[in-house]
Structure 1
Amino acid sequence: MATTVKLERRARVLNGIPRKPDLSKPPAIRLLKNPWIWGTIILALVSFIGLWDMYAMLHPDVVTEEGIIPGIQNQSFILAAKYAWPTAAIYVALFVLLDRFRRQNIWMYLMAFLWGGVMSTWFSIYVNTWMGQMLGVTGNDPTTSSRSAIFSAPFVEEAAKCTFLFALAILARYRIVSTLQAVSLAGINAIGFAFVENIVYYSRAHNYATLTPQIADPEAAMAQLVLLRGVYTSFGHPLFTCLAAFGIVVGLRHRAKIVRICAPLAGFAFAALGHMAFNGIASITTDEQARMYWFIGLGLVAMIIITLIGHAITEGRRIRARLTDFVRMGWLADSDPFMYSRTRSRVAMITIALFQPRRLPATLKVMRHMTELAYLRDGMTRGLIDEAGYERSRDLIQEIEALRPVAVTSSAHGERIIWPKFSLPKRLRAALPARVPARSSAPNPQWAPPS
């Protein structure tokens, strides 16, 4: 019996299927055994160390042969963070909304942001400095030269950001089942990197303006850089990392081994080359030329957005087709494929459940199980998952049927939003004047007309 259980677990791991939860243990114990929570906690602790190390590198004054180079003051860091967080918040919200069919848990979003914001910048600041010295760059900071920005920084930074995506593709590939999910995680990862990088650039600009007597308003001088990096070119880092995400998804969803290896590498190469072209244009072109290239960059962003819209439509059709397979087998209701493959139907069911809090957890759980069931069936039809997928499918269908009586599902036709009823307190109702009954329009029976 123990050998059979081990073989089943091994088959699940090899096929990228999550393990069965031990429902006999309390929820608190299961929560403590969640690997994503512990991974986030460990990454947060390491990220704190990385932030402190970068602060210790940028804050103190540096003594050189030419004199003392002043470090960045705390006031500049605080003001830079104030200007950098709105861009990061807007982009994170957009990428979370993009992942609409099988949304990841909050721990994966936090890990992606922490990795991009701290681990990638921590690794890049050391490697870029070393690469700048190897390239023979002279000056106070080798990482700010055009030579380092063009030839070393793109490969170093994209490699640091894509490490998180490669790790997910290897260790938890069942979590990445669509292009929308990969692009969402890649975008949040890149926004974390841009957030910390913007803080460094903004604080440097403010610190330099503060120490320069010719600049009357340091905050206004920094605002120009904020407008450039936080608005006009804010799409740069997400655009490059999303190119790598496209390659990873192609590798995950293809059977050929050579495609599984070459597609992620090709995605990384496109990301690094795009980053190199972006830095080169920003470093060696004039303002008029840069404006023309900026419009070209907007065109690329528009193409990516159109591609993602097409992928969203394709994902909805894929979910409908794969759930239809289970309807033909008699395991799901006839209306399930239509209801769970449309964004409008999902939003409607969640909205109805929001006004009935008792039904909301079951509704969300059924929605997640339906999506996982569809992608599991898709992996089985593609030959990416073997017999281990049948056991997982059976478990998902059993949980869906157990939750149907409580959840707002496709079988609950005609349901409407139940608005909450509010009543005034007794003291307030007693203070209000008594309601005068409405005068009836019916004739008085004592003065009835003659027959």
Structure 2
Amino acid sequence: MATCPPYPTHPPQPPYPGGPLGGSIGHAHWWQRRAVRYGALSALLALSGLVILALVREQTGTEGFLVGLGLAVLPVPLLIAAFRWLDRVAPGPWRNLLFAFAWGACAAALIAIVANSFATRWIATATADPSGADTLGATVIAPVVEESAKAAAVLLVFLFRRRDFTGIVDGVVIAGITATGFAFTENILYLGTAFGTDQLTGDQGITSVTVATFFVRIVMSPFAHPLFTVLTGIGFGIAAASADRQRARRVLVPLCGLLLAMGMHALWNGSSTFGQFGFFGVYAAFMVPAFGLLTWLVIWTRQRELRTVREELPAYVAAGWLAPAEPYALGSMRARRMARDHAAHHFGRPAARAVTRYEAYATSLAFLRHRARRGRAGADFAVRERELLAELWRLRDVARPALDHAARATAPPVPETAPPWPRYGTYGQPAAPYPAHNPYRS
């Protein structure tokens, strides 16, 4: 006798939460084709990388370049790991992060070096004041040029990878990775130049320029450039979460974020002109509080994303696409990790990777429905929903047992309480609880 499958072959789709769909999906122009975009960007980044390598090596020398490279790479893994941790709820594809880092390290750094040098020389020639030109270039020109160059990477991902760019956390991650790449190249230049200066003057030990530069840029402020550019990323994240009809908001908020990034960058660069302790004053009064505030904002946003997953996925449970325990498990980072570990322990690493993909698809589905319920989904909502549901259905045999185990293991215990009615003893009299000590027993 045949048995019925535990889940329907084709569960019904939940109704569109925002009403009837409008519009249609247009055909992509030739410049929107993936091969054309990837080819052009790869060529641009490769050319920029070669040019910036030659420029930095010319200014620092081969030995200085190698020393600067070895020291500048130290904070990079820590910063990337921090941004990846923030992105664990709905991790974006590695190709976006690779593009962001390469843009910051190559294209944005090249634009900054060329534009800053040209502007500073032009000001020095026009004013016949080289010292004043250097100060103006550091406090005004550099923040505008560098933040604009880094913001271009966030803008490109925002325009061409909208499926991966849905909110504030995505903007923070892309902006932070871009700024990490930019700071990496800039640190090579500064540390390599400092090493060359020490070679000429013979300074060594803790009094050397290299040690001082390393302490300021690598130890004290490795987060400086990411902190500036994250403000731009937050602006683009708010724009991504806004409805298409809110055009003014989608334009003005990213611009405000960019202006804030330029302002904080200018304050940081100008701290050296505020006296002997100006740098430490700006660091303590502005940089550290701003870093703490933005960290709290991003963590709060991440918790809100988990709450969105728990609130939106029950609609797909009712339609039969998801198991009842999945919204709870997918809305907990601890349960997610436990599900991956359970799958890896019983079925191997391929099963764990399948659970990871299942979690990512389910999270994208929850965000998609959340945007639709708030009237912010595009005309391709139904198509994207079907794609995500198809991927979840394909991976369900591996992911569901693991998520069910994680849900049962992490569910909060139900406290045992006494019944609200009195217990009755012999002849219908209420039964009294037994005392801890029997006074009639000697």
Separation in 1, partners of 2:316, 2:131: 60
> What amino acid is the match of 1:10?
G
The superposition leaves residues 126-168 of structure 1 with CA deviations (integer Å, 9 ceiling, x where unpaired) of: 1111111232269999999222001100000000000010111
Q: How many residues matched?
A: 379
Q: Which residue of 1 aligns with 2:77?
A: 89
**Residues 401, 153 of structure 1: CA spacing in aligned structure 2 closer, same or farther, 3 A cutoff?**
same
DSSP-derived class of the 1:413 partner: helix
Letter in 1 for 2:224: G
SS of corresponding position for 2:124: coil
1:322 paired residue number = 312
1:243 equivalent among 224, 231, 242? 231
Aligned to 1:359: 351
CA distance in structure 1 between the aligned counterparts of 2:267 and 2:371, rounded to whole angstroms: 37
Amino acid corresponding to residue 124 of structure 2 in structure 1: G
**Matched residue, 2:384:** 392
Specify which of 89, 102, 112 is matched with residue 100 of structure 2. Answer: 112
Task: Tell me the amino acid that sits aligned with residue 163 of structure 1.
Answer: A
1:45-194 alignment runs, 5 A limit: 45-55=46-56, 59=58, 71-136=59-124, 145-194=134-183
Distance in 2 of aligned mates of 1:227 and 1:124 = 23
Match of 1:377 among 369, 372, 397: 369
| Runs of 5+ unmatched residues, structure 2 | 1-22, 410-442
Is 1:252 the counterpart of 2:244 in the alignment?
A: no
CA gap of 1:399–1:35, structure 2 versus 1, over 3 A, is: farther
Matched, 1:224 2:212: yes
Q: What residue identity is the alignment partner of 1:404?
A: R
Shift of 1:261: 0.9
Counterpart of 2:191 (choices 191, 196, 202) is 202
SS of corresponding position for 1:385: coil
* Distance in 2 (alpha carbons) for counterparts of 1:143 and 1:164: 31
Equivalent-residue separation in structure 1 for 2:87 and 2:168 (angstroms)? 9
Task: String of CA shifts for 1:396-446, please: whole Å, max 9, x gaps.
Answer: 2232122211235566337999xxxxxxxxxxxxxxxxxxxxxxxxxxxxx
Q: Deviations over 1:87-123 (max 9, x none)?
A: 1221111111211111122221111111001111101
Runs (5+) with no aligned partner, structure 1: 1-6, 20-32, 60-70, 418-451
- Given that 1:154 and 1:276 are in contact with CA atoms closer than 8 Å, whether structure 2 keeps it comes out as yes
The corresponding residue for 1:332 is: 322
Matches within 5 A, 1:396-415: 396-409=388-401, 412-413=404-405
Residue 221 of structure 2 is aligned to residue 233 of structure 1: yes
The yes-or-no answer on 1:10 pairing with 2:26 is yes
1:308 aligns with 2:324: no
d(CA) in 2 for partners of 1:345, 1:285:
50
SS at match of 1:118: helix
Question: Distance in 2 between the 1:176 and 1:251 partners?
Answer: 10
Conserved? CA contact 1:180–1:311, under 8 Å:
yes
Matched-pair identity in %:
25
Distance (Å, rounded) in 1 between the aligned partners of 2:408 and 2:131? 63
Counterpart Cα distance in 2 of 1:179 and 1:322: 19
Once the two structures are superposed, residues 33-79 of structure 1 have per-residue CA deviations (whole angstroms, 9 ceiling, x without a partner) of 77887577435522332334424xx52xxxxxxxxxxx532111101
User: Which whole-Å CA distance do the structure 2 matches of 1:414 and 1:134 have between them?
Assistant: 63
Compared with structure 1, are the counterparts of its residues 38 and 352 closer, same or farther at alpha carbon in structure 2 (3 Å cutoff)?
Answer: farther
Q: Partners of 1:197 and 1:140 in 2: how far apart?
A: 25
Structure 1 stretch 192-201 or stretch 247-256: which is displaced more? 247-256
Query: What TM-score, normalized to structure 1?
Result: 0.77
Partner of 1:22: none
Change (3 A) 1:411 1:232: closer
Assess, with a 3 A threshold, how the Cα gap between structure 1 residues 386 and 200 changes in structure 2: closer, same or farther: closer
User: Aligned partners of 1:84, 1:279: CA distance in 2, in Å?
Assistant: 19
Shift of 1:370: 0.3
Structure 1 residues 221 and 50, CA, compared in 2 at 3 Å: closer, same or farther?
same
